[in-house]
Amino acid sequence: MTIALERHMKKSEKHGNRNFWCMLLIPPLMILPLMITVADGQSISFRSIEPGIGYAHVVSSDGPQSIHVLKIQLDSQEERLPERRWTTGLGDGRVYGLSTTSSIATDAAAALSARPIAAINGDFFTIARGNFQGDPTGLQIVEGDVVSSSPKRSAVWFDPRGKPLMGLVESRFRVSYAEGAGEFLIGLNEPRGEGNAVLYTPSLAHNPRDKGKLDFSTRTTDGCEFLLEPCDGTKWYPFKVGMKYPARIATVREGGNSPLTKSSVVLSVGNKKREQIPSLKPGDELTIVMETVPDLTGVNTAIGGGELLVSDGELIANPKSKDRHPRSIIGWNQEHLFLIVVDGRAPEVAIGMTYLELGKLAIDFGCTEAINLDGGGSSTLWADGQVLNTPSDGIQRRVANALVLVEMNKNDQPESP
């Protein structure tokens, strides 16, 4: 792929993407393009925006395409870089909430008393207005707290050593009863149908920064709901992957739509599902089992995604999809992690990419692993205090979640969950 890397004038660097479309109209002699062939990502000149972090804006006449790339050194200890960590944030700080990627970045950093460095929009989500707007489609873990489950969908996560990994993740969250004699699968913080059961936690509706009493509920209809409490001396919230939590039924509520406080944990069971399990009553003890396949025990940060693009350096993207759209991807190799956004839906300057083109692009940048995230109007790359790409909606879309890189305050670092 032959590309043109614009050497921005200082004024353009300062204002970032706001001047990009205007720059395309400037006579060629004024922008001095550098024609190069991408082989492994090392051939592109990245402008340093932070120690160990470079940014490149790549323009290709083949398409045309407009590509924004952050190249982030993975091992910060080698070069004695500032202490950094990856985290995820929720729109408006809650599962059923939406915010811009930039707002999620600043809020997620504030929750850790940290400084936001970079962010990219995350998972697909329920975009339609209604009770469940903002619900992420797949897995999400926020500082060890599992806030969204995955029905065997792709995700990217960071192991306890900070190494990025990706793959299909299946949530096997369940409740066992009668001292383990029986059990049933549960969803987590999602719409509950008549034939299933869902566990609702404070993350569904409560932002940790909320002040005062706010009215939230499970937003369910019919069925039966059980307000749970921890067994004596048991610490059980936030819920972490790989853990088992003994619980006791405090109260039973018929009809659904139970109130949710900042400490409520509610098990909601649909009418059809209720017929398949024994009668449960106040005082009965249950065990909540938070299991995933593969086992993500100890994972502090995870976010759902879409198409798997590259694995072990091999292109695995779906070649059948021919639609071109704006795209967001996360990719990496042994040394660097790449946040990449491809602009689109602007035929004269950026048409977007197919999954296959996207996978080839990730390989061109040197990625041995890469995963697609939510795209279209959601695609947003934020760093250096600004949005680096040009969102196709004309403004930042409010999204469900984002992956965020923060710099920790050495004097105020939280304990690992």
CA atoms within 13 A on the CB side of 131: 11
Q: Does the bond joining 136 to the residue before it have cis omega, within 30 degrees of 0?
A: no
With a pLDDT cut of 70, the percent of the chain lying above it is 85
Task: Please give the mean pLDDT across all residues of the chain.
Answer: 87
Among the listed residues 120, 121, 122, 118, the one whose alpha carbon sits nearest the alpha carbon of residue 49 = 118
| pLDDT tens sequence across 203-238 | 998 776 665 556 689 999 999 999 999 997 777 888
| pLDDT tens sequence across 38-52 | 544 436 899 999 999
| pLDDT tens sequence across 162-176 | 999 999 999 999 999
pLDDT computed for residue 15 by the predictor: 36
pLDDT band at 75 (very low <50, low <70, confident <90, very high): confident
pLDDT computed for residue 412 by the predictor: 55
Please give the Cα distance from 175 to 192 (Å, whole number). 15
Domain ranges in the chain with CATH number 2.60.120? 174-290
Among the listed residues 301, 146, 172, the one whose alpha carbon sits nearest the alpha carbon of residue 238 = 146
Please give the Cα distance from 184 to 86 (Å, whole number). 33
The total of other beta-carbon atoms located within 10 Å of residue 341's CB is: 27
Q: What are the beta bridge partners of residue 266?
A: 200, 227
CB 169 within 8 A of CB 294: yes
Indicate the pairing of strand 197-200 with strand 187-188.
Answer: parallel
CB 344 within 8 A of CB 326: yes
Q: Is 332 helix (H, G, I), strand (E, B) or coil?
A: strand
| pLDDT tens sequence across 284-326 | 999 999 999 999 999 999 999 999 999 999 999 999 999 999 9
Q: At 257, which amino acid appears?
A: N
Two structure tokens written together for 75: 């091992």
Please give the Cα distance from 261 to 170 (Å, whole number). 28
Cα-Cα-Cα-Cα dihedral sign, residues 359, 362, 363, 369 = negative
Please give the Cα distance from 277 to 391 (Å, whole number). 48
**162 burial via Cβ count (<10 Å: 0-12, 13-18, 19+):** middle
Label residues 68-89 b or e (16+ Cβ within 10 Å = b): bbbbbbbebeeeeeeebbbbbb
Radius of gyration of the chain (CA): 23
For the question of whether the overall pTM of this predicted structure is more than 0.95, the answer is: no
What kind of fold does domain 174-290 have according to CATH? Answer: Jelly Rolls (2.60.120)
Q: Is 11 helix (H, G, I), strand (E, B) or coil?
A: helix
Two structure tokens written together for 412: 């105020």
Task: Supply angle C-alpha 199, 205, 208, rounded to 5.
Answer: 110
For residue 355, what is the DSSP state? H
Among the listed residues 203, 201, 187, the one whose alpha carbon sits nearest the alpha carbon of residue 95 = 203
Task: Supply angle C-alpha 84, 87, 92, rounded to 5.
Answer: 130
**319 burial via Cβ count (<10 Å: 0-12, 13-18, 19+):** exposed
Please give the Cα distance from 313 to 366 (Å, whole number). 8
What is the residue-wise DSSP string for 94-152?
SSS--B-HHHHHHHHHHHTT-EEEEEEE---B--SSSTTTT-BSS-EEETTEEEE--EE
Q: At 381, which amino acid appears?
A: L
Q: Stretch 120-125: mean pLDDT, rounded?
A: 98
What is the residue-wise DSSP string for 190-238?
S---TT-EEEE-GGGT--TT--S----B----SSEEEEEEEPTT----S
pLDDT computed for residue 236 by the predictor: 80
